[in-house]
Chains A and B, each alone.
Chain A
Amino acid sequence: GESVGLHLPTLSVQEGDNSIINCAYSNSASDYFIWYKQESGKGPQFIIDIRSNMDKRQGQRVTVLLNKTVKHLSLQIAATQPGDSAVYFCAENTSGYALNFGKGTSLLVTP
C-alpha cells in the first residue's frame, strides 16, 4: 500500500550549475500558473508566473516553460546559488481563484 507521509523529491545541484525543476499539472482548463519558492518555516514566495497563451517567460535568472500539450511546467534557474536552496512548488489557478499546488521539489545547492 501507499506509505503515509509524502517524501519530497530532491534535486541536488552544484553552485553555479543550472537547475531544472519539473511539474505536471492536472487541469487542462487552467489558464494561469505560478512558481513559488518556500524556505523552511516560511510562507511561499512568488518567483514567476505564466499564462496559458504563452509557452515561455523569462525573469531574472529564472525561466518558466509551459507545454500545454502534455500539461507540463518547468522552472529553470540559471547559475544556481546557495540561497536558491528551498522547496519549489508549481501552482495552477482554479475557478475560484484559489491555487492548486503541486507536490513540490526540494532543491539543494552544494558548494
Chain B
Amino acid sequence: GAVVSQHPSRVICKSGTSVKIECRSLDFQATTMFWYRQFPKQSLMLMATSNEGSKATYEQGVEKDKFLINHASLTLSTLTVTSAHPEDSSFYICSARLALAKNIQYFGAGTRLSVL
C-alpha cells in the first residue's frame, strides 16, 4: 500500500517553543492531507484538513494561529505547534488521501509531542 512518512516520531520541547511536524506521501500524490490529535486512551480527533495550495480548514475549537498548517506540494504537509504548552502534549497523526481514490486514506506513524 501507499506509504506516508511522518517526522519526527517523537519530540520533547520546552514550553513556549515551536515544533514542526512533517507529513510526506512517499509514492503518491495527495491532494488532501488531514491532521489528527489523539490523547491517551482516546480516539483520533480531526484538527484540520489541508489542501495543496490553499488554506487549511480547521475544526471547531482548533486555533489556526497556534497550529499552523502548510501544504506547499502534493507530497508534503507540515504542522507547526507554536508557543507549545504542556497541554499541547499529545500524539499527532497525519493522513493523506489519494488524489484519484477519494475515500482511501493512509496514515503516518504519528508524532509523540511532550512539552515540558
> Could you list which residues of chain A lie within 8 angstroms of chain B, going by C-beta atoms?
5-8, 32, 36, 41-46, 49, 89, 93, 96-104
B25-58 vs A, Cβ < 8 Å mask (1 yes, 0 no): 0000000101010011111111001000000010
* A43 adjacent to B108 (CB under 8 Å): yes
- The chain A residue sitting closest to B46, CB to CB, is A98
> Could you list which residues of chain B lie within 8 angstroms of chain A, going by C-beta atoms?
1, 4, 6, 32, 34, 36, 39-46, 49, 57, 91, 93, 95, 97, 102-103, 105-110, 112
How many A-B residue pairs have C-beta atoms within 8 angstroms? Tell me: 61
* Chain A residues touching B, majority SS: loop
Pick the 6 closest A-B CB pairs, nearest first: A43-B107, A101-B43, A101-B44, A43-B110, A43-B109, A44-B107
* Chain B residues touching A, majority SS: strand
Among candidates B41, B46, B102, residue contacting A99 with C-beta atoms closer than 8 Å: B46
Residues of A within 8 A of B46 (CB): 98-100
- The chain A residue sitting closest to B93, CB to CB, is A43
* A41 adjacent to B110 (CB under 8 Å): yes
Residues of A within 8 A of B105 (CB): 97, 99
17 of the cross-chain contacts (CB-CB < 8 Å) are A5-B40, A8-B42, A32-B103, A43-B4, A43-B6, A43-B93, A43-B107, A43-B110, A44-B93, A93-B103, A96-B57, A98-B34, A98-B49, A99-B46, A99-B105, A101-B36, A101-B44
